[in-house]
């Protein structure tokens, strides 16, 4: 049985990921929250702009790298918790038949969380992962607020792609692999491309 994405999405939605009285969702060994995408986008893109305003355009790649790394850290912890959960072991693990399925299982969960419509494109186990997305909230939010971009803006999805490689092929266990891989967004809808494309390779 290959990964049945609609079953995974149904399963994740069946978990009723709802916040407690403080709004935090305590699941998978991490603290999650269900937030407004405009809020996250403002925080992220205005952070980048503030760094450029205060330090100059030379610092733009550093600001972007920091945002990607923060997402990668989050992905390592969140998806390690998800992969270790009884729900994942019961629902997704039995569908995994090969190396690609390991990634596709994580992508199905990523899609269930509603961040974008992410598609698997290519895997060279241990070396390289390519994912593509459409409808990501970062590219949509960026275009709505600032118009066309001259660079990829989907920092969260880039960090998550690198995080998947950390978790699957890093030398240690779970989040201790953070940063083994890096990711570049080589195409982005915010730049006018037909999709966003993420390529993760060893750092
Ligand atoms: Zn993008």
At which residue do the structure tokens 């980048």 appear?
A: 48
**54 CA to middle of ligand 1, Å?**
25
**Looking at residue 13, what is its pLDDT?**
87
Q: Cα of 137 to ligand 1 centre, how many Å?
A: 9
**Of 96, 60, 68, 74, which is closest to residue 29 (Cα–Cα)?**
74
Distance 147 CA to ligand 1 centre (A): 13
- Residue 31 forms part of a structural domain: no
Query: What is the Cα 67 distance to its own chain's centre?
Result: 12
In this prediction, residue 32 carries a pLDDT of 86
Q: What is the mean pLDDT of residues 36-62?
A: 95
Distance 44 CA to ligand 1 centre (A): 14
Has residue 5 been placed in a domain?
A: no
The pTM of this model reads 0.95
Residue 52 Cα, ligand 1 centroid: separation in angstroms? 20
Cα(82) to ligand 1 centroid in Å equals: 25
CA of 75 to the centre of ligand 1 (A): 17
Residue 16 forms part of a structural domain: no
Is 99 among the domain residues? Answer: yes
Domain range holding 69?
37-202
Given a cut of 80, whether residue 64 has pLDDT beyond it is yes
- State how far the Cα of 71 lies from the Cα of 200, in Å rounded to an integer: 14
Mean pLDDT of the chain: 95
Can you list the positions of beta strands (E) in 43-171? 117-124, 128-134
pLDDT reported for residue 39 = 93
24, part of any domain: no
pLDDT for residue 200 is more than 90: yes
**3-class SS shares of the chain: helix, strand, coil, % to 5:** 55, 20, 25
Label residues 139-154 b or e (16+ Cβ within 10 Å = b).
Answer: bbbbbeeeeebeebbb
Cα 193 to averaged position of ligand 1 atoms, centre (Å): 9
Q: What is the DSSP string of 56-84?
A: -GGGHHHHHHHHHHHHHHHHHHHHHHHHH
Report pLDDT for 23.
Answer: 86
Length, in residues, of the chain: 203
CA of 154 to the centre of ligand 1 (A): 4
Rg of the Cα atoms in the chain:
17
CA of 97 to the centre of ligand 1 (A): 30
Q: Is residue 82 part of a domain?
A: yes
pLDDT exceeds 80 at position 29: no
Contacts of 117 (CB under 8 A, 6+ apart): 111, 133, 134, 135
What distance in angstroms lies between residue 91's CA and the mean position of ligand 1's atoms?
30
| Residue 1 pLDDT exceeds 80 | no
pLDDT tens digits, one per residue of 82-92: 999 988 999 99
Q: Tell me, yes or no, whether 18 lies in a domain.
A: no
Q: What is the pLDDT of residue 173?
A: 94
* Distance separating alpha carbons of residues 168 and 138, to the nearest angstrom: 25
56 is a domain residue: yes
Indicate the number of domains in the chain.
Answer: 1
CA of 166 to the centre of ligand 1 (A): 21
Q: What is the pLDDT of residues 158-189, one digit of tens each?
A: 999 999 999 999 999 999 999 999 999 999 99
- 142 CA → ligand 1 middle, Å: 9
Whether 19 and 66 have beta carbons less than 8 Å apart is answered as: no
CATH of the domain at 62: 3.30.1380
Query: Residues 20-44: what's their mean pLDDT?
Result: 87
């Amino acid at each position: 049985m290959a990964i049945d994405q609609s079953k995974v999405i149904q399963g994740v939605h069946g978990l009723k990921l709802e916040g407690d009285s403080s709004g935090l969702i305590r699941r998978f060994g991490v603290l999650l929250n269900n937030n407004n995408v405009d809020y996250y986008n403002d925080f992220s893109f205005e952070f980048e702009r503030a760094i450029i305003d205060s330090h100059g355009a030379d610092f733009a790649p550093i600001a972007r790298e920091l945002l990607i790394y923060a997402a990668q850290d989050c992905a390592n912890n969140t998806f390690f918790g998800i992969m270790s959960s009884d729900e994942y072991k019961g629902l997704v693990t039995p569908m995994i038949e090969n190396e690609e399925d390991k990634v596709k299982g994580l992508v199905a969960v990523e899609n269930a969380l509603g961040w974008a419509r992410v598609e698997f494109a290519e895997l060279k186990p241990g070396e390289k992962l390519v994912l593509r997305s459409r409808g990501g909230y970062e590219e949509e939010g960026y275009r709505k607020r600032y118009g066309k971009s001259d660079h990829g803006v989907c920092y969260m999805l880039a960090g998550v792609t690198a995080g998947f490689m950390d978790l699957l092929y890093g030398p240690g266990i779970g989040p201790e692999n953070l940063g083994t891989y890096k990711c570049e967004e080589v195409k982005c809808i915010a730049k006018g491309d037909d999709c966003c494309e993420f390529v993760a390779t060893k750092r």
